[in-house]
Amino acid sequence: MEKSGNDKAVMENGLRGRFGIYSFSGEKISRYLSEDVCQKLSKTSEDGESLPDEIASSLADGMMRWALDNGATHYTHWFQPLNGATAEKHDSFLSGKDGDGHAILHFSGKELIKGEPDASSFPNGGLRATFEARGYTAYDPTSPAFIIKEGESAVLYIPTAFCSYTNEALDEKTPLLRSMDYVSKQAIRVLRLLGDEESSRVISYCGPEQEYFLLDESQFAKRKDLAYCGHTLFGAKPPKGQELEDHYFGPINNRVASFMAEVNEALWSLGVLSKTEHNEVAPCQEELATIYAPSNISADQNQLVMMLLKKIAKKHGLVCLLDEKPFQGINGSGKHNNFSLSTDKGVNLFARDCPYFPVFLSAMIEGIDEYGEELFASCCSYSNDLRLGGEEAPPSIVSAFIGEDNEALVERLLQGKEGEKRERGIIDTGVKTLPYIYKDAGDRNRTSPFAYNGNKFEFRMVGSSAPIAESSTALNVILGRALSDFASALEASSNPDKKEAAAELLVEKLKKHKRILYSGDGYSKEWEKEAERRGLPHLHNAVEGIASLESQKAKDLYGKANVLSERELQSRVEVKYAEYGNKATLDAKTMVHMASKLFLPACLSYSKRLLEQLSLPSGPKPSCLADLAKKLSSKIDEAYQANEKLKQSLKEANAKKGRDLAYFAACRLRLDMGRLRQAIDELELLVDKREWPVPSYGDLLFHTA
């Protein structure tokens, strides 16, 4: 049935018509580029072939014309250096004047393909120095360019990789792209051996779930710890937290809903499939999830999500906190990496009905077991240290949960039997008017750091502020390594029946690596003991995780995959140590500043007032007044001593750097900061609220409506 003119107008002006209007993809490419250029670009973006040099100029010109038609005046090479953020430098399309004094607009193929930012000004772990600063950005044609509009400004953003003059990766994207090639190559090796002659490429996909907090801007501005560090360093637990479980999936208040609506519109216009939004467990905590995309595109899109959450929050008088643990005593924020693998023919290799699923399930289990420390290292950071193992956060012991049906499949494979399709159970609510609901392959285990969830694996240890690229890179590499070993063993097998040989190999692999499977409570102390009995590594903090990347095992893992050379891997180790030490000392300095300038003076002032009341010659005095004054005096002394101790530790920290500073921060500074916090938090409960110098947790967490 033909659509009416009104129906067409609704489609063009509605969500479908607005989607992707500022993304250089789809029909916009065919409108601004010739058919030949479109075909060659498609060969690169969809088939993984190299971008031909001869189309660069035509591609750049078409991209510029599209950008100009949408109001853009500048372009930028947009990249992800090793600081967890993105970087950009804006250049206009102006290239001079003609004989009549009119502006000449030009964007060359060279300008599209290559940029030259100063590499020494970004974290590089020793790969670059001020006297050898040259770095290059290289256009990633597999990730669509897009336009960001901000007030009167409109800029064409070109996703790029960032490398040094000596060919070394200085960013998150380059290793990710390498890892995608690696896992594709190894997966195709396995598929060929198992009889798949059609697939030519395998793509890793990522669907991030982004958690964040929203605070009232006026309350945020009164907290120096939030302004400097992104999380609170002090704060007594309020009477109400998340105990009533009334915020999770609760009604979204109007202010937050208005903010979310604007975020969605901005993301949709950029071609980002923003799908789900809801209240999270903690007060003021929210979540936004996007639909799966190839891992490199998803990494770009998640950076856009974080950038827009922050920008748009300000328009609504809010502040978006992406820190992993903004508040003690309630849930922190993570970024679940939903990881899957599909062929270029659309076959999801982690779907239970895929004929190759047992092999890829086994490979994933092997990868997690063999390289759990390296996987942990991919998401370890100072702020994530404060989250992991806390309220509803995954434990720092890496294990895998695969669900009841997959556990049964593993047991059958170990017995030498083929997997069988189990009948799906039905949820019977006992209410006639409600439909029957088919059960999933297994229950959910929210305590597991790595869980199978239908047709994907969900890696839950990633921190909310982290670039998703690093964990995706690690997942690609460890899975690729397991697939490589499987393919090599299968190729070397004397059994001419490769499917039979694969079944035998599966038994061997699963027997060795099933120790990583755990379906119980990952938060329990019993699991810590059981994990130790099984010989599973337990990394207690990020510094131990970073150290695991210095092992020969980690060097071989990334080096043999051609994802990170030894120098590139070591540079990331140095950057991580520096980030940990610098953030810890920033926290410590801020605590000393706030204790010295705000809390101790306020407590002394209140104590003085109490003592003055006690010294009055006449008049009734509550019997508790002396007791309160005594408690207050004792706690002030305790806080003062803790503050002096932290000052001394900071002096020692100033003489350290790199690995030494990171270890000192983890083992000493955090303990000293904890003592000072405890003393100040106890004082907060003794001092008159009207005299407390900063908003309380209650003020911060219950004022966004």
Q: How far, CA to CA in Å, does 344 sit from each of 200, 338, 695?
A: 7, 19, 54
Alpha carbons 245 and 582: distance in angstroms, whole number: 36
Res. 295: pLDDT tops 80: yes
Q: pLDDT, tens digit, for every residue of 447-490?
A: 899 999 989 999 999 999 999 999 999 999 999 999 999 999 99
Res. 17: pLDDT tops 60: yes
CATH of the domain at 151: 3.10.20.70
Shared domain for 351 and 466, answered yes or no, is yes
- In the chain, the number of structural domains is 3
Q: How many CB atoms lie within 10 A of CB 417?
A: 11
Alpha carbons 548 and 544: distance in angstroms, whole number: 6
CATH of the domain at 656: 1.20.120.1560
Beta-strand pair 90-92/437-438: unpaired
Nearest to 698 by CA among 227, 237, 212: 237
Domain membership of residue 686 (yes or no) is: yes
Minimum mean pLDDT range among 21-35, 245-259, 480-494: 245-259
Q: pLDDT, tens digit, for every residue of 149-197?
A: 998 999 999 999 999 888 899 999 999 999 999 999 999 999 999 999 9
* Terminal-to-terminal C-alpha distance of the chain: 47
The DSSP bridge partners found for residue 75 are: 91, 156
Q: What is the pLDDT of residue 131?
A: 46
Hey, what are 143's tokens? Answer: 């990730």
Shared domain for 75 and 200, answered yes or no, is no
Beta-strand pair 153-164/74-78: parallel
Domain membership of residue 619 (yes or no) is: no
Q: What is the pLDDT of residue 363?
A: 98
Q: Of the spans 8-17, 20-29, 411-420, which averages the highest pLDDT?
A: 20-29
Q: What is the pLDDT of residue 499?
A: 87
Place of tokens 């393919």: 487
Alpha carbons 568 and 512: distance in angstroms, whole number: 32
Domain membership of residue 574 (yes or no) is: no
Give the mean model confidence (pLDDT) for residues 542-570: 97
Cβ-contact 591, 231 below 8 angstroms: no
Q: pLDDT, tens digit, for every residue of 266-286?
A: 999 999 999 999 989 899 999
Confidence of residue 87 (pLDDT cuts 50, 70, 90): very high
CATH of the domain at 420: 3.30.590.10
Domain membership of residue 571 (yes or no) is: no
Shared domain for 328 and 254, answered yes or no, is yes
Cβ-contact 679, 639 below 8 angstroms: yes
Amino acid 408 reads: A
Shared domain for 630 and 548, answered yes or no, is no
Q: At 1, which helix (H) or strand (E)? A: none
Shared domain for 463 and 608, answered yes or no, is no
Nearest to 215 by CA among 144, 313, 291: 313
In the chain, the percentage of residues whose pLDDT exceeds 90 is 75
Select from 120, 138, 170 the last residue of a domain: 170
Give the mean model confidence (pLDDT) for residues 514-523: 92
Hey, what are 250's tokens? Answer: 């609760």
Domain membership of residue 248 (yes or no) is: yes
Shared domain for 266 and 375, answered yes or no, is yes
Q: How many CB atoms lie within 10 A of CB 255?
A: 15
Cβ-contact 571, 125 below 8 angstroms: yes
Q: What is the pLDDT of residue 557?
A: 98
Shared domain for 141 and 217, answered yes or no, is no
Res. 261: pLDDT tops 70: yes
Q: What is the mean pLDDT of the chain?
A: 91
- 3-class SS string, 611-636: HHHHHCCCCCCCCHHHHHHHHHHHHH
Alpha carbons 534 and 65: distance in angstroms, whole number: 61
Q: pLDDT, tens digit, for every residue of 96-140?
A: 998 888 999 999 999 999 998 776 777 776 665 554 567 899 999
Shared domain for 252 and 341, answered yes or no, is yes
Q: pLDDT, tens digit, for every residue of 39-78?
A: 999 888 777 788 888 999 999 999 999 999 999 999 999 9
Domain membership of residue 694 (yes or no) is: yes
Q: What is the pLDDT of residue 8?
A: 55
Q: What is the span of the domain harbouring residue 688?
A: 580-614+624-701
Supply the DSSP symbol for 118. B
